[in-house]
């Protein structure tokens, strides 16, 4: 701790004392937290390539400069070499080099100045044309398998033209070549490329068209990112193969083309099949055809030999057929005799069975009359028995008839629910009952109930009152 005068009171105040390394570390942490990854533009100066592979340089503009470092792992991914005087855009992390307390930028990625704007234009145009369906796979045309003539749209001074010509001469010397010269870089190149494609389509003097250019930066390839070129490719009646730049380079022309090749050499290989491969394939098919023809000839020869062995003289054939006909006639006559004999035998058997089955009418008539007499007697006896039974049942029914009972002076009592009163205990005093006589009915009320009083005393009383007759 150290005594330091306080600016407010002038009195000593106790403040912590920190090391330089801690101060630099705290400053670095604050800087990295305050500034996220961002893009910084400037001119490269004081460039130095270290033995470790790291690159040290400064980015400057008209008013200031800042130290930068790009570590080896990031430099290897750059794809091009940094040079003094280049104007670049760097994606950086703002930090502090603690060992020396130097404010610096750690470069994560870099691109040439202006590439960012070009890339944005590239994406906007790609999205526009893609939304119109210009890149749809349904509109892609297949390349002809055996083109007789191939067109090339490129610069006469381009190395890509030499690569394509040498590849076609090596692979397919039988294919004719038509070159449509045009600028492939710089002002007016896009319109010339589109015009050359249009001319090739109008002339129709080739079956496949190659649009190619060697590698370069995005600015170098920008003519192939033009809308005129893309629309000319899609309007061309000839299938188009694009071979622009290196394998990692993509342009709008690549998306519009029917086939995209990573390099001009690969475009030539796509456009024309290799002559040696075609000759080998042709030789193989020729050999297969010859074998097939030989096999057919051998098979037909065998069939001819077999038919020759079966071939007979017409006279011999007629004699054989005449003998066959005589045999069939003899067999037919024998079959007819056998069938006639079987038919005569069957007819005789049926005649005998008919005689045996003929009915004796006189004897059958007597039997029928006897049976009729027996039937009449049995019917009369049955009728008498049924009449006696009917009379007996009628008498029994008359005895059981309730009306006959009521005619003898009896009556029937029904309670309020229509049930027959058989027991005095089933009714109560004051209960309403209905009494039925032989003629008519009477509604009555029960005055009293006598469970023990039976019918016998009443019958005796009635008999005593009536007296002897």
Mean pLDDT of the chain, nearest integer: 84
Whole-number Å distance between alpha carbons of 360 and 203: 118
Give the DSSP letter of residue 313.
-
Give every CB contact of residue 412 below 8 A, 6+ residues apart in sequence: 402, 406, 420, 435, 436
- Whether the model clears a pTM of 0.85, i.e. scores above it, the answer is no
The yes-or-no verdict on residue 317 having pLDDT over 80 is: no
* Domain boundaries along the sequence of the chain: 16-113, 119-277, 404-466
Nearest one of 237, 230, 220 to 260, comparing CA atoms: 230
The answer to whether the beta carbons of residues 406 and 437 sit under 8 Å apart is yes
Give the rounded distance of the alpha carbon of 154 from its chain centre: 46
The CA dihedral of 46, 48, 54, 60, to the nearest 10 degrees, is 10
Question: Domain 119-277 adopts which CATH fold?
Answer: Rossmann fold (3.40.50)
Mean pLDDT, rounded, for 72-100:
87
SS3 call for 176: strand
Question: Can you give the pLDDT at residue 460?
Answer: 62
Total count of residues recorded for the chain: 469
Taking only the tens place, the pLDDT of each residue in 395-438 is 777 777 777 777 777 888 888 888 888 888 888 888 898 888 87
Please name the residues in contact with 239: beta carbons below 8 A apart, sequence gap of 6 or more.
Answer: 141, 142, 143, 144, 207, 208, 209, 258, 259
Residues above pLDDT 70, as percent of the chain: 91
Q: What is the mean pLDDT of residues 176-193?
A: 91
Q: What is the pLDDT of residue 172?
A: 87
Give the pLDDT confidence of 122-152 residue by residue, as tens digits: 888 889 998 999 889 888 899 998 899 999 9
Worst-scoring range by mean pLDDT, 35-39, 70-74, 152-156, 403-407? 403-407
Higher pLDDT, 275 or 33: 33
* CA–CA gap between residue 113 and residue 118 (Å, rounded): 10
Tell me if 272 sits within 8 A of 171, measured CB to CB: yes
Which CATH code for domain 16-113? 2.40.50.140
Q: What is the mean pLDDT of residues 368-376?
A: 86
257 confidence band (pLDDT: 50, 70, 90): very high
Per-residue model confidence (pLDDT) at position 469: 45
With 80 as the cut, is the pLDDT of residue 192 above it? Answer: yes
> Cβ distance 151 to 238 under 8 Å?
yes
Is 6 a residue whose pLDDT tops 80?
A: no
CB 67 within 8 A of CB 92: no
Q: Which helix H or strand E contains 230, and what residues bound it?
A: helix 227-235
Q: What is the mean pLDDT of residues 265-271?
A: 90
pLDDT over 60 at 2, yes or no: no
């Amino acid at each position: 701790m150290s005594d330091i005068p306080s600016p407010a009171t002038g009195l000593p105040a106790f403040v912590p004392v920190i090391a330089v390394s801690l101060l630099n570390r705290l400053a670095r942490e604050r800087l990295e937290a305050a500034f996220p990854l961002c893009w910084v533009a400037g001119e490269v100066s004081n460039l130095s390539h270290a033995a470790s592979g790291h690159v040290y340089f400064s980015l400057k503009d008209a008013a200031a400069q800042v130290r930068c470092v790009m570590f080896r792992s990031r430099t290897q991914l750059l794809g091009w070499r940094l040079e003094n005087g280049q104007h670049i855009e760097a994606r950086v992390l703002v930090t502090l080099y603690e060992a020396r307390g130097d404010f610096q930028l750690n470069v994560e990625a870099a691109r040439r100045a202006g590439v960012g704007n070009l890339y944005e234009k590239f994406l906007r145009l790609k999205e526009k044309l893609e939304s119109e369906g210009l890149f749809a796979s349904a509109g892609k045309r297949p390349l002809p398998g055996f083109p007789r003539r191939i067109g090339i749209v490129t610069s006469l001074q381009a190395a890509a033209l030499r690569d394509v010509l040498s590849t076609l001469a090596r692979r397919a010397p039988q294919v004719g070549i038509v070159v449509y010269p045009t600028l492939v870089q710089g002002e007016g190149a896009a319109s010339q490329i589109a015009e050359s494609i249009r001319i090739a389509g109008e002339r129709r003097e080739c079956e496949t068209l190659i649009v190619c250019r060697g590698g370069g930066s995005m600015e170098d390839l920008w003519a192939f990112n033009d809308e005129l070129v893309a629309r000319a490719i899609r309007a061309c009646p000839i299938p188009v193969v694009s071979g622009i730049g290196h394998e990692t380079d993509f342009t709008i022309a690549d998306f519009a083309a029917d086939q995209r090749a990573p390099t001009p050499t690969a475009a030539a290989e796509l456009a024309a099949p290799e002559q040696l491969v075609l000759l080998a394939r042709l030789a193989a098919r020729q050999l297969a055809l010859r074998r097939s023809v030989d096999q057919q000839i051998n098979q037909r020869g065998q069939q001819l030999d077999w038919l020759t062995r079966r071939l007979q003289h017409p006279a011999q054939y007629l004699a054989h057929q005449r003998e066959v006909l005589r045999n069939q006639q003899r067999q037919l006559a024998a079959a007819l005799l056998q069938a006639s004999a079987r038919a005569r035998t069957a007819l005789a058997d049926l005649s005998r069975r008919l005689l045996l089955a003929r009915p004796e009418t006189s004897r059958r008539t007597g039997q029928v009359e006897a049976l009729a007499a027996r039937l009449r007697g049995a019917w009369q006896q049955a009728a008498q028995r049924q009449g006696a039974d009917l009379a007996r049942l009628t008498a029994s029914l008359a005895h059981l008839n309730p009306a006959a009972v009521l005619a003898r002076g009896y009556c029937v009592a029904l309670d309020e629910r229509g049930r027959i009163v058989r027991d005095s205990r089933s009714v109560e005093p004051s209960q309403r009952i209905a009494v039925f006589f032989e003629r008519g009915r009477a509604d009555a009320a029960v005055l009293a109930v006598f469970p023990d009083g039976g019918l016998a005393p009443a019958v005796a009383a009635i008999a005593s009152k009536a007296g002897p007759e």
